[in-house]
A and B are shown apart, each in its own frame.
Chain A
Amino acid sequence: MKNLAELQALRDEMKEKVGVRKDSEHRMRIVVGMATCGIAAGARPVLAACIKEVETRKLTDVVVAQTGCIGICQFEPVVEIFDADGSKTTYVHVTPEKIPKIFASHVVNGSPVVEYTIGANAN
């Protein structure tokens, strides 16, 4: 390192890599159901797609986590988004293709994609 600018650039780059270690309260949580039912229905690529979105969009206040079976196995893969204020949106039959839209609309701009939610797919 030869000057301050290089140090700052390295700091900013490294900061992203340790962002996951922040206290998880007051952050948006994206939770993917990863029980047997979820994995069988294809939750793994969905999780990978979520992680990829967080990375490419350089989101720092978003946590991607997994959870077990929430009891609606026929709707798997299920992705639940907990906003920072605690409200929850449940997306069902999620595919990796649906993820960019959910991120662009809901995660970044705060407007849930109604057509993918459990409410729109209950029947």
Chain B
Amino acid sequence: MVRSHILVCGGTGCHSSGSNKLFENFESELKAAGLADEVKVIMTGCFGLCALGPVVVVYPEGAFYSQVKVDDVKEIVTEHLLKGRLVKRLLYTETIAEDTILSLDNTDFYRKQKRVALENCGVIDPENINEYIAYDGYMALAKVLTEMTPQDVVKEISDSGLRGRGGGGFPTGKKWSFAAAQPAGDKYVCCNADEGDPGAFMDRSVLEGDPHCVLEAMAIAGYAIGSNHGYIYVRAEYPIAVKRLRIAIAQAREAGLLGDNILGSGFNFDIDIRLGAGAFVCGEETALMNSIEGKRGDPRPRPPFPAVKGLFGKPTILNNVETYANISRIIRNGAAWFASMGTEKSKGTKVFALGGKINHTGLVEIPMGTTLREIIEEIGGGCPDGKKFKAVQTGGPSGGCIPEKYLDTPVDYETLTALGSIMGSGAMIVMDEDNCMVDIAKFFLEFTVEESCGKCTPCRVGVRRLYEILDKITSGNGEMEDIDKLEELCYFIKENALCGLGQTAPNPVLSTIKYFREEYEAHIIEKRCPAGVCKKLLNYTIDPELCKGCTLCARNCPANAITGEVKKAHVIDSAACIKCGACIDSCKFKAIFKK
């Protein structure tokens, strides 16, 4: 019998810091120690605490080892697994107690989390269907096929209050009921795994850590609307997710959980994968369906909505990965259980990807209604190096920046929209005092200019004009009326763009003008970047009092812009200076300032 399990995180974050090497080393070290029969090594999905990766958890103790290196493997095997002594120096500090270890659930990072969509991530081996089944996998599909009518399924999902997790927040049950109401015939179930928001990686983590839950949910959706065929549209940039999906589909077919006559019920359902080439607009539902059909990934006008006329002109439902990840849990635990979590209009939990200037970079799942402050300060551990929090950007390029004074807002679809941002897919990028808000707006606009498909004029031309005005302001050439121009153009684009990409693209500009107007004004009136980011507005100066004349800065300056005699104060020629910052880095007397 196996008495101990070693769980090695195989998510993309830990994988890129070498967790697959750890896996191999654990296997070989266990073999060398004669423990191969009693200790099992399992590659799982993401644990969420990506900042501390690679992560290794040893059961039954539940010891959480963080930032494990290949050289540490031998010590864990000989100390922990052979002699039963915990390797304290590698334990996550918050879990260390006098003579035992505390449960992970009691750490700041996990305490307020509630894992529903991520239930199995970091718990099971995603490449082994039997592990998914051990945690009640496919029992929800069995339940709907044996005990429920398609109408029951739609009603259960409607009653749960689940809303689309991809950003729009449309009630999932309603979407399914529209497609179910269409006359019988070819219908399709699609999964949107084209996660494109910079900073968002929850869909990737679900696919990597628990691929079967998406397959099971799609089969349930197929039963509910009367469809026999599903497509998963996943970006090719997610090689691990694609690989595990392929394995999962093959295993599910082998086990008779996909294919013809599933569990003897007479219901047939199968799933194919389509790889996206990484165009942001293909995350938009109509563009995505065009792309699956083999056409150019352009959006098409709605109506007709996909539920009526979607993929190949047939009724189609399209849900996001995280939405599907909730389905089997709702069927198993009941709509009332799901509806008991969250706020009045937003039920359940939401996964957020924390990134930017935050200590605990990673993936968190919290009940709707948790405040931004709890997410950022308690779970996320606040900004590193004691810097002051400035704003949080939610919803990626379609979202907006929320300043400090609104941090106590409970998060749900409505509150974020009211603040001028959106829930979006759940990316949360934290910014501190060193971030320039005009530059941030420009960054997101640069992204949308690049990703605009070019089909409609408001987006193709309008978003580019927005970018050009922002560039003018950050270059020091802005005029006060530019702010008015920006706002006017923003509202025009919001009202007239064809699809979600264009309609939401102005959000970063509008929210930063709304909350950080003084930064725009500083750039325009004073020709100054308060955060010291916009290079063209920066001036490097040497304080003659502090300068010792050591010549180090002059020797390090790549532009030869610094002159001065030995042991006398040096001077920077602003005209020649390229504002690279090499002088500041080299000065030992902290005599150089940027303003």
Contacts and interface: CB of A to CB of B under 8 A. Distances in A.
Contacts of B142: 4, 7
B264 to A, nearest CB: 5
A99 interface: no
Given A34-B83, A68-B84, A63 B131 contact: no
B89 interface: no
Contacts of B257: 1
A118 to B, nearest CB: 19
B60 A24 contact: yes
A66 B81 CA distance: 8
A67 interface: yes
Interface residues of B, number: 36
Interface in B256-272: 256-257, 263-264
Contacts of A3: 263-264
Contact of A20 (B5, B133, B263): B5
A23 interface: yes
Contact of A14 (B3, B133, B263, B264): B133
Interface stretch (A47-55, A89-97, A107-115): A47-55
B263 A11 contact: no
B103 A20 contact: no
B522 interface: no
Interface in A54-96: 54-55, 63-68
Contact of B82 (A14, A31, A66): A66
A15 B83 CA distance: 27
A6 to B, nearest CB: 8
B496 interface: no
Contact of A17 (B2, B60, B123): B2
Contacts of B264: 2-4
Interface string B79-99: 001111100000000000000
A68 B263 contact: no
B61 interface: yes
A88 to B, nearest CB: 12
A20 B60 contact: yes
B135 interface: yes
Contacts of A68: 83-85
B134 to A, nearest CB: 3
> Size class of A's contact patch?
20 to 34
B139 interface: yes
B471 to A, nearest CB: 53
A10 interface: yes
Given A2-B264, A20-B3, A7 B84 contact: no
B131 A14 contact: yes
B263 A2 contact: yes
Given A14-B131, A18-B134, A54 B1 contact: yes
Contacts of B85: 67-68
Given A17-B134, A18-B135, A34-B83, A4 B103 contact: no
A4 B133 CA distance: 12
A23 B105 contact: yes
Contacts of B5: 18, 20-21
Contacts of B4: 20, 65
Nearest to B102: A25
Contact of B83 (A18, A22, A27, A66): A66
Interface in B56-82: 59-62, 81-82
B255 interface: yes
A65 B2 contact: no
A10 B264 CA distance: 16
A41 interface: no
A52 B62 CA distance: 22
A3 B61 CA distance: 37
A35 B84 CA distance: 8
Given A4-B146, A11-B134, A23 B139 contact: no
Contacts of A18: 5, 124, 131, 134-135
Given A2-B256, A66-B82, A66-B83, A51 B133 contact: no
A31 B1 CA distance: 16
Contacts of B38: 51
B149 interface: no
A20 B59 contact: yes
Interface string B278-299: 0000000000000000000000
Contacts of A63: 60
A4 B263 contact: yes
Given A4-B263, A10-B133, A11-B136, A55 B84 contact: no
Contacts of A25: 103
B269 to A, nearest CB: 14
A15 B133 CA distance: 8
A17 to B, nearest CB: 7
B130 interface: yes
A66 B60 CA distance: 11
B263 A65 contact: no
Contacts of B61: 24, 65
B23 interface: no
B3 A21 contact: no
B138 A7 contact: yes
Contact of B1 (A7, A35, A55): A55
Contacts of A52: 1
Contact of A7 (B7, B83, B105, B133): B133
Interface in B1-47: 1-5, 7, 38
A54 B264 CA distance: 36
Interface string B540-584: 000000000000000000000000000000000000000000000
A52 B1 CA distance: 7
7 contacts: A1-B256, A1-B257, A7-B263, A18-B131, A18-B135, A21-B123, A35-B83
Interface of A: 1-4, 7-8, 10-11, 14-15, 17-18, 20-25, 27, 31-32, 34-35, 47, 51-52, 54-55, 63-68
**Closest 9 pairs between A and B when the two form their complex, measured CB to CB:** A66-B84, A14-B134, A55-B1, A63-B60, A67-B84, A1-B256, A3-B264, A21-B59, A18-B134
